């Protein structure tokens, strides 16, 4: 188990060297080295679970059997989602959680069109998605069978809309002081009322329940602290196209941005994942598939425009 823990940390490290567009580096956070390890004998339990499970962090981080604290709250899970297949295909729910809403460093995959999920996996496999977060997905995409992929895609596509609500957006000039911790996630600093400024080109996506997030508890959601006024500016850009600066998102992403045909939903998804995609598409680390349709959307957007757009999308109901 310990070996897996180390492997997952190591997988995050190349991000430091690779670097994304410097201005949006904050959307690709990396866990600092040498964080204290929990006592391996200590056991934990998610709040309100009826399973009675008490697990060590090594069990919680088991690539091929992460915890499902609330098994009654989702449809029956295919084994590739629940357990993966050793050695290369880890359980999807390890990072995307049993409802697919995911953590900021991975992605929300709940309610995406099944075909879209399949195509993205092929894109990871074929070199179409290469950001600093991608290596874990590339390894899995090269080994997963088409039948397994179909099972996973159908499962995540079937998650009902009510289960997709996951992000709370808070606008302001400041956010509570926070830091990057385990898993490259942001956590609130404990025992302080200090704040940090939220610049117009910055978002802090923070765990609403720090322990829950570390326990991979599917009730432990996230808060996006976004710049003052960004949601309204994002709405204007998304709905009018900003005088030709971009294209109205609903044309392809559907009414209320809930997805249309094979085009993924944007509403209610975490700002960090969404802005990495806009940035990656703009700088070419995400290409292939139908990404060509997004090129004209992103080419004239600056970092602040992207912050506004994703703040607005994260604030919408899925």
Report, in Å, the least distance between residue 62 CB and ligand HEC: 11
Q: What string of DSSP letters covers 221-286?
A: -EEEEEETTHHHHHHHHHHH-TTTTS--THHHH-GGGS-BTTBPP-TT--HHHHHHHHHHHHHTSB
Under the binding rule (CB under 6 A), the answer on residue 249 touching ligand HEC is yes
Under the binding rule (CB under 6 A), the answer on residue 223 touching ligand HEC is no
- Look at residues 284, 244, 256, 249 and name the one whose alpha carbon lies nearest to residue 128: 284
For the chain, first and last CA: distance in Å? 36
Which residue lies nearer to ligand HEC by CB, 152 or 213?
A: 152
Under the binding rule (CB under 6 A), the answer on residue 233 touching ligand HEC is no
- Within a 10 A sphere around the Cβ of 4, how many other Cβ atoms? 15
Q: Which of 231, 294, 307, 314 binds ligand HEC (CB under 6 A)?
A: 294
x/- letters, 139..168, toward ligand HEC (CB under 6 A): -x---x-------x----------------
Quickly tell me which residue has 């559907």 as its tokens: 254
Segment interacting with ligand HEC (CB under 6 A) among 36-44, 180-188, 204-212, 262-270: 262-270
Q: Which of 26, 195, 291, 304 binds ligand HEC (CB under 6 A)?
A: 291
Under the binding rule (CB under 6 A), the answer on residue 238 touching ligand HEC is yes
Which residue lies nearer to ligand HEC by CB, 62 or 106?
A: 106
x/- letters, 83..122, toward ligand HEC (CB under 6 A): ------xx-x-xxx--------xxx-x--x----x-xxx-
Q: Which of 46, 60, 77, 80 binds ligand HEC (CB under 6 A)?
A: 80
**How many alpha carbons lie under 13 Å from residue 142 in its C-beta half-sphere?**
11
Q: Which of 271, 274, 307, 314 binds ligand HEC (CB under 6 A)?
A: 274
Report, in Å, the least distance between residue 50 CB and ligand HEC: 25
Q: Which of 165, 247, 256, 304 binds ligand HEC (CB under 6 A)?
A: 247
**Exposed (0-12), middle (13-18) or buried (19+): which is 114, by Cβ within 10 Å?**
middle
Binding residues among 8-67 for ligand HEC as defined by CB under 6 A: none
**How many alpha carbons lie under 13 Å from residue 238 in its C-beta half-sphere?**
27
Give the sign of the dihedral formed by CA 139, CA 143, CA 145, CA 146. Answer: positive
Residues that bind ligand HEC (rule: CB under 6 A) add up to a total of: 46
- The CA distance from 263 to 237, in Å, is 19
* DSSP alpha helix (H) spans, the chain: 2-12, 14-18, 57-60, 79-82, 92-96, 114-125, 135-143, 146-157, 210-214, 230-240, 250-253, 271-283, 292-298, 303-315
Q: What is the DSSP letter of 44?
A: B
Q: What share of the chain is helix, strand, coil (3-state, %, to 5)?
A: 40, 10, 45
Report, in Å, the least distance between residue 106 CB and ligand HEC: 4
Under the binding rule (CB under 6 A), the answer on residue 297 touching ligand HEC is yes
Is 139 in contact with 178 (CB distance < 8 Å)? no
Which residue lies nearer to ligand HEC by CB, 20 or 206?
A: 20
Segment interacting with ligand HEC (CB under 6 A) among 43-51, 173-181, 191-199, 276-284: 276-284
Pairing of strands 195-197, 186-188: unpaired
Q: What is the DSSP letter of 24?
A: G
Which residue lies nearer to ligand HEC by CB, 64 or 177?
A: 64
Binding site for ligand HEC (CB under 6 A): 80, 89-90, 92, 94-96, 105-107, 109, 112, 117, 119-121, 131, 133-134, 136-137, 140, 144, 152, 238, 246-247, 249, 251-253, 263-264, 266, 273-274, 276-278, 289-291, 293-294, 297, 309
């Amino acid at each position: 188990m310990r070996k897996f823990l180390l492997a997952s940390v190591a997988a995050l490290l190349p991000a430091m060297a690779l670097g994304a567009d410097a201005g949006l580096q904050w959307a690709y956070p990396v866990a600092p080295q040498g964080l204290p390890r929990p006592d391996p004998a200590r056991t934990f339990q998610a709040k309100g679970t009826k399973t009675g499970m008490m697990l060590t962090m090594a069990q919680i981080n088991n690539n091929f059997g992460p915890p499902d604290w609330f098994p009654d709250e989702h449809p029956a899970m295919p084994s590739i989602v629940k357990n993966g297949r050793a050695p290369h295909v880890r359980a999807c729910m390890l990072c995307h959680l049993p409802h697919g809403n995911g953590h900021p460093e991975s992605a929300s995959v709940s309610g995406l069109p099944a075909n879209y999920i399949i195509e993205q996996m092929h894109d990871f496999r074929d070199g179409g998605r290469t950001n600093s977060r991608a290596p874990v997905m590339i390894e899995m995409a090269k080994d997963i069978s088409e039948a397994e992929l179909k099972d996973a895609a159908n499962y995540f596509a079937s998650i009902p809309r009510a289960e997709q609500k996951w992000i709370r957006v808070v606008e302001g000039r400041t956010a509570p002081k926070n830091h990057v911790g385990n898993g490259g996630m942001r956590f609130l600093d404990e025992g302080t009322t200090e704040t940090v400024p939220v610049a117009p080109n910055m978002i802090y996506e923070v765990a609403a329940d720090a322990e829950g997030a570390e326990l991979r508890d599917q009730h432990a959601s996230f808060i996006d602290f976004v710049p003052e006024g960004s949601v309204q500016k994002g709405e204007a850009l998304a709905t009018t196209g900003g005088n030709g600066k971009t294209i109205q998102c609903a044309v392809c992403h559907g009414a209320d941005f809930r997805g249309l045909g094979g085009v993924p939903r944007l509403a209610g998804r975490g700002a960090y994942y969404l802005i990495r995609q806009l940035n990656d598409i703009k700088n070419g680390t995400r290409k292939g598939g139908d990404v060509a349709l997004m090129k004209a959307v992103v080419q004239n957007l600056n970092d602040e425009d992207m912050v506004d757009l994703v703040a607005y999308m994260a604030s919408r109901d899925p």
